[in-house]
Amino acid sequence: MKKTPETVRRIRILGSPVDMVSADEAMTTFAELMETEGCSQIVTPNSEILWSASKDPVLKAIISGAELVLPDGIGLVYASRLLGVPLRERVTGIDFLSRILAWLSENGKSVYFLGSAPGVAEKAAENMRARFPALKTAGTRNGYFGPEEEAGIVAEINASGADFLCVAMGSPRQERFISAHKAEFTARLAIGVGGSLDIWAGTLKRAPLFFRKHGIEWLYRLAQQPRRIGRMAVLPLFMLRVLFYAPGGKKREGT
């Protein structure tokens, strides 16, 4: 397995690693990984995902094995402060991905969009090509398939010659899929991007700037998708558990 560049420092939140990087530093690491043999994985956890990982050793191992772990959630920034190892900033998956697409188009590299409902990846690719005219899309496919189709899909992605793979199938499905096939992918990097293709395709609206600036994007998402209430309810539990690990708390977590 490849190593995360030495320059990147990892902290631990509820036992899972999170990289202490600014968005600019994450881009530098991204560019290094694009030059490195084999396929690397980028994960973008939020509090919900780290909460699940604290109960699911397989998910925790997948996050630990990722070459870049971006703090995609305001809850992680607060948690890191409580733990006394403050993360520089929140690096949202979708903003980071926009920068990646700009980099890919400037460097003549191609992207494969896998995930979301039929038609969404195609529409997202079309909109992204309008934004980055030099962007090469090697292929697209929806994210609804059974385990028996996986080998064929991996072969299809490899045959497309994509340099970068974007998987939007929700967490932890996308992380498991990438991790399971990492050794087979010929792309240099794969990232799980949740609902980003829906946003780019226009099927889901991104929170207005006010919500993003104030760290309450989750509130906007909840209003759009009330079914998320159950999942979001873990946030207070997540914070309580982090407090338990914080300096002065009952347990001290390694940094």
Query: Could you tell me the smallest distance in angstroms from the CB atom of residue 142 to ligand UDP?
Result: 6
Q: Find the length of the chain.
A: 255
Provide the mask over 209-248, with x wherever binding to ligand UDP is found by CB under 6 A and - wherever it is not.
Answer: ----------------------------------------
Output the residue with the shortest Cβ distance to ligand UDP: 143
Closest CA to 206 of 122, 136, 124: 124
Radius of gyration of the chain (CA): 18
Provide the mask over 103-142, with x wherever binding to ligand UDP is found by CB under 6 A and - wherever it is not.
Answer: ------------xxx-------------------------
Applying CB under 6 A, among 144, 184, 224, 252 the residue interacting with ligand UDP is 144
| Residue 119 near residue 142 (C-beta atoms within 8 A) | yes
Distance CA(179)–CA(181), nearest Å, equals: 6
Query: Could you tell me the smallest distance in angstroms from the CB atom of residue 250 to ligand UDP?
Result: 31
Which residues ranging from 182 to 211 are in contact with ligand UDP (CB under 6 A)? 194-195, 197-198
Please, which residue, 71 or 115, has the CB nearer to ligand UDP?
A: 115
What spatial distance separates the first Cα and last Cα of the chain, rounded to whole Å?
Answer: 22
Please, which residue, 67 or 217, has the CB nearer to ligand UDP?
A: 217
Distance CA(186)–CA(45), nearest Å, equals: 24
Distance CA(26)–CA(96), nearest Å, equals: 8
Judged by CB under 6 A, does residue 165 bind ligand UDP? no
Query: Could you tell me the smallest distance in angstroms from the CB atom of residue 117 to ligand UDP?
Result: 5
Query: Could you tell me the smallest distance in angstroms from the CB atom of residue 198 to ligand UDP?
Result: 5
Please, which residue, 91 or 168, has the CB nearer to ligand UDP?
A: 168
* 87-88-93 Cα angle (round to 5): 85
Number of residues that bind ligand UDP (CB under 6 A): 14
Applying CB under 6 A, among 16, 29, 105, 171 the residue interacting with ligand UDP is 171
In 9-123, DSSP assigns E strands to: 10-13, 16-19, 40-43, 68-69, 110-115
In 63-147, DSSP assigns E strands to: 68-69, 110-115, 136-141
| Residue 191 near residue 42 (C-beta atoms within 8 A) | yes
In the complex, which residues of this chain contact ligand UDP (CB under 6 A)?
A: 115-117, 143-144, 168-171, 173, 194-195, 197-198
